[in-house]
Chains A and B, each alone.
Chain A
Amino acid sequence: MTDTVAITLNINGEDHRVSVEPRRTLADTIRDDCGKTGTHIGCEHGVCGSCTIILDGEPVRSCLMFAVQADGRKLRTVEGLAKGNQLHPIQQAFIDNHGLQCGFCTPGFLMLATSVLEKEPDIADADLLDALSSNLCRCTGYQNIIKAVRQAAIEMRGAGK
């Protein structure tokens, strides 16, 4: 046991002041210390992508960062996508296209796709497939996930995002 470090994580616009050991991953801290359990932990070694969040605009595996590294930075998790009862276009697109089955991988895919489409609204389809190959879905519903993200891409471009 090492001494804990006091840090502040800004998650979806809200500051969370927590004390963590340096070895504590960002994924565990988001879930257990900040209570945002929408971020899922699958493999804990960066392979599955379930814990993908958006850190200062970039998609990252939150199991491959220590929480102390995110001190003072802006994080976005799946809880921040919807505005009240209004789903984010990517969430609606996953429903419309049956883009989820058991739903375990879904938060990771939503955050991955959201950050990629925000960064590159006009992304080429081949590059979009390359980006989506980052995450695993053990229900193997990849075709519907791809359909959903393509639909969201069109809607997000239309919304001028």
Chain B
Amino acid sequence: MKPAAFLYHAPRTLEAALTLLAEVAPQDGRILAGGQSLVPAMAFRLARPTHLVDINGVAGLDRLAIDGNVLSVGATVRHAAFHKADPAFGVLGALLADVVHNIAHYPIRTRGTMCGSLAHADPASEWCLTAITLGAEMVAKTAKGARRIPAADYFQGIMSTALEPDELLAEVRLPLLANGTKHGFYEFNRRAGDFAIGMALVTYRVENGKIADAHVGIGGIEGSPRRVPEAEAALNGQAPGKVAFEAAGKATAAVVDPIEDTQTPASYRRDLAATVVSRALERAAA
């Protein structure tokens, strides 16, 4: 349970970090941010990076601020930054505060980062589900430049993303939510703080008594989190309530391609998909 040897780098500027990453990435050099997933993987020697570029001391990466109509979250912003809903972030702040308490445990949340979770891309990551459901944008940087990756193009299966080895996920940009947007999150697991077996995040608005602009996202069910257009179609134009919510759950279960593990067969996750979607919708309406 001891990590294999590596060389440690602690750059102070983004430019230095990106230059270092370009040098060490071809030798399985990695970024170290919160370390709450990478370090356990190293303890098990599932990961044996030869170099770690520690970005915790890089100036400016802890920026958490509103840019126009998005919330910009820098690479070293910890989960714990969202424990209390910041009124300046409006409905999005309340949504993030609702979700964050489901992420692992308190001392993990003081170290782990939102961008780190997005780069790690565990199927059961709450922030990955949040990014896809809200339509976030990832800002990936290299020594040569930057590109923006929409969430819809970013997730590529279990722990796989569109990031290249020499790219640092420097920032995630989450769209702010209009006042009055309803939001609900529901996660199922067997122990407090454990990985989600299934979860759903939903947002919608109510216009003239009918649901509009429904976003239904599921996580932990398939290899990557995703939105479910069939469930959204079952909601839009309907009155919010049990009938529409259960229809959205059924529509989800009908189209998912669940992952399996030793304790959980695909059929279980399929049933669970319907339950977490309808319960997230009930929470949004409450």
Contacts and interface: CB of A to CB of B under 8 A. Distances in A.
A87 interface: no
Contacts of B105: 49, 131, 133-135
A58 B110 contact: yes
A21 interface: yes
A44 B43 CA distance: 7
A45 B39 CA distance: 7
Interface string A55-66: 000111101111
Nearest to B83: A127
Contact of A2 (B7, B10, B80): B7
Interface in A98-124: 112, 116
A63 B108 CA distance: 11
Chain A interface mostly: mixed
Interface in A19-43: 21-23, 25, 28
A70 to B, nearest CB: 11
Interface residues of B, number: 29
What is the size category of the interface that chain A forms with chain B? Answer: 20 to 34
Given A23-B6, A46-B36, A130 B108 contact: no
A134 B193 contact: yes
B56 interface: yes
Given A23-B3, A68-B8, A133-B193, A49 B35 contact: no
Nearest to B112: A64
16 contacts: A1-B5, A5-B8, A22-B7, A23-B4, A23-B5, A45-B1, A45-B43, A49-B105, A58-B107, A59-B106, A60-B107, A61-B111, A64-B35, A64-B39, A65-B35, A69-B35
